[in-house]
């Protein structure tokens, strides 16, 4: 494996050294939902016969790289969590936004 824990520890040390804050976001289920909120995406051979697994098709017909969609969703989860923490009397399960692992860029 590519030793992700060492990379994470190194980045945390550098962030602490430069006075940056760190937030951990759950990356589970970030590439499966479409970032535009349209629905779940089709990946790989479900798009076309010889399509690589990292290409996804939204229900609207758009083709994107799954990592791009996932990075949009991860960034949105960070900002949504920060916004919900700032609001008084807001629970983590806001019915208008959805739960943490179902949040996408369209919720932002």
Taking 90 as the threshold, does the pLDDT of residue 5 lie above it? no
Domain that holds residue 64: 24-107
Taking 60 as the threshold, does the pLDDT of residue 105 lie above it? yes
Instruction: Name the strand (E) or helix (H) holding 77.
Output: helix 66-86
Closest CA to 72 of 51, 96, 41, 47: 41
Is residue 5 included in any domain, yes or no? no
Is residue 63 included in any domain, yes or no? yes
Average pLDDT, the chain: 83
Is residue 13 included in any domain, yes or no? no
Is residue 58 included in any domain, yes or no? yes
Count of structural domains within the chain: 1
Q: What is the mean pLDDT of residues 78-100?
A: 71
Q: List pLDDT tens digits, range 36-63.
A: 888 888 888 888 888 888 898 888 888 8
Is residue 51 included in any domain, yes or no? yes
Is residue 68 included in any domain, yes or no? yes
Is residue 89 included in any domain, yes or no? yes
Taking 80 as the threshold, does the pLDDT of residue 91 lie above it? no
pTM value > 0.95: no
């Amino acid at each position: 494996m590519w030793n992700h824990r060492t990379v994470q520890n190194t980045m945390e040390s550098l962030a602490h050294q430069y006075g940056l804050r760190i937030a951990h976001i759950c990356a589970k289920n970030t590439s499966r939902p479409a970032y535009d909120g349209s629905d779940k995406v089709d990946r790989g051979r479900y798009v076309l016969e010889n399509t690589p697994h990292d290409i996804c098709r939204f229900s609207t017909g758009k083709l994107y790289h799954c990592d791009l969609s996932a990075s949009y969703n991860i960034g949105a989860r960070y900002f949504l969590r920060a916004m919900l923490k700032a609001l008084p009397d807001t629970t983590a399960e806001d019915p208008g936004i959805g739960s943490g692992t179902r949040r996408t860029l369209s919720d932002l």
